[in-house]
Amino acid sequence: MTNGKTAFIAIVGRPNVGKSTLINGLVNTKVAITSPKPQTTRNRITGILTEADRQFVFVDTPGMHKGKDLLNKRIDKTAVSALQDVDIALFVTDRLMGAAERHIIRYFEQSQIPVILVINKIDLLENKTEIDQIILSYIGAYPFDAVIPVSAKDGTHVERIKEAVLPHMSDSPFFFPEDMTSDQTEKQRMAELIREKILYHTEQEVPHAVAVQIEMMEENKEANTLDVSALIIVERPTQKQILIGKGGEKMKRIGTEARRDINKLLNVKIHLTLWIKIKKDWRNRPTDLNAFGYGD
C-alpha cells in the first residue's frame, strides 16, 4: 500500500455540538448521520480522507454525557476509549466552558494527547466578540494545540483543521485504500440512514428507544433492484403506534426518505420494507445491545 503521512484523529465533545456534521464536511462524504436531537451518534464512525500522499483517518464518536441505561454507558465508553487509539483529538464545542466541558477535558488529561479546540456553529453567533468570549473561557483549561472557530454546516474554516493536524502526521503506509471513505458496512450505513429519518420524525423519548437492524439484503435481478428488509426495534407499544402514525403516514414518510438516501449511497434502486418489533427494555439487555450493534 502507498506510503505517506497518516494520522488518526478523534472527534469528541458534548452531544449535539456538530461532531458528525463536521466529519462529513472533513471527508466530503456523508459517513455519519446527523440530527437536531442529542445522542444521534451511538458508534465510533470512521471517515477517511486521502489527499495525495496524506491519509487522515477521522473518528466520529458519540456525544459524551452521563446516561443512566446500559446503552448510554456503553456509548460513553465508546467515546472515551476512542481517545486511546488516536494521535490527536478535535474537541468540538459550541458554547462557553462549563461543567460538561471540564468533565471531557479530564479525559484529555488522562490520555495526554494533543487536542485542537474547535468552536463550531459560528454562523449562529452575532459577532466576533462572542467567539472571543467562548475562546477566552477555555484558555488555561488545557494546553490546546490550536483553537479554530468553524461552521461545520456551511464549511467556514473547516479546511484549517486539516492544516492544524499536519504537524501530527507521521510517516507510515496508508491504513485504508485511497478510495475508501468509511469502514462501515453497507448494512450498517443503511440501518443508520433509517434511524436518521426516525430521529427527524419523532420526539421526546422515541428517538432514544429505537434501534434498526437490516434483516435481509438481496439482489432482485428481475426487477433490477436491491430488496432490503429492515427491522425497527422499539420498547413499547405506544412507541410503535407513534412510529406508524395516523393511517401509516409517518412510517411511509420515513421509508420514502430512507429509500431515497440509500439509493444515493449505493447507487442502485432499492425496494425497502420496514418492520417494527417491540423489545421491552432492550437498552438494558446486554444480549440485545450486542445484537443491535452496540457491543461492549
* Contacting positions for ligand GTP (CB under 6 A): 15-21, 34-36, 38-41, 62-63, 120-121, 123-124, 151-153
Minimum Å gap between C-beta 291 and ligand GTP is 22
Interstrand relation of 3-13 and 54-60 (parallel, antiparallel or unpaired): parallel
Of residues 184 and 229, the one with the C-beta less far from Mg ion: 184
Minimum Å gap between C-beta 279 and Mg ion is 24
- Identify the sign of the CA torsion 264, 124, 254, 229: positive
Question: Are 143 and 112 within 8 A, CB to CB?
Answer: no
Cα 117 from Cα 123, distance rounded (Å): 17
Report the candidate in 106, 103, 115, 89 with the shortest Cα–Cα distance to residue 11: 89
Interstrand relation of 88-93 and 3-13 (parallel, antiparallel or unpaired): parallel
Q: Which does 207 bind (CB under 5 to 8 A by kind): Mg ion, ligand GTP, none?
A: none
Minimum Å gap between C-beta 133 and ligand GTP is 18
Of residues 192 and 235, the one with the C-beta less far from Mg ion: 192
Q: Which does 72 bind (CB under 5 to 8 A by kind): ligand GTP, Mg ion, none?
A: none
Number of DSSP helices (H) and strands (E) in the chain, helices first: 9, 10
Of residues 11 and 88, the one with the C-beta less far from ligand GTP: 11
Interstrand relation of 45-51 and 54-60 (parallel, antiparallel or unpaired): antiparallel
Where on the chain is the footprint of Mg ion (CB under 5 A)? 19-20, 40-41
Q: Which does 6 bind (CB under 5 to 8 A by kind): ligand GTP, Mg ion, none?
A: none
Q: Which does 239 bind (CB under 5 to 8 A by kind): Mg ion, ligand GTP, none?
A: none
Of residues 120 and 239, the one with the C-beta less far from ligand GTP: 120
Minimum Å gap between C-beta 27 and Mg ion is 14
Minimum Å gap between C-beta 64 and Mg ion is 11
Grid cell, residue 291, equals 445484537
Of residues 36 and 140, the one with the C-beta less far from ligand GTP: 36
DSSP 36-55: SSSS---S-EEEEEEETTEE
Of residues 6 and 35, the one with the C-beta less far from Mg ion: 35
Q: Which does 15 bind (CB under 5 to 8 A by kind): ligand GTP, Mg ion, none?
A: ligand GTP
Q: Which does 143 bind (CB under 5 to 8 A by kind): ligand GTP, Mg ion, none?
A: none
Helices 158-165 + 19-27 axis angle, to 10: 80
Q: Where are the beta strands (DSSP E) in 174-210?
A: none
Minimum Å gap between C-beta 39 and Mg ion is 8
Report the candidate in 71, 28, 33, 65 with the shortest Cα–Cα distance to residue 48: 28
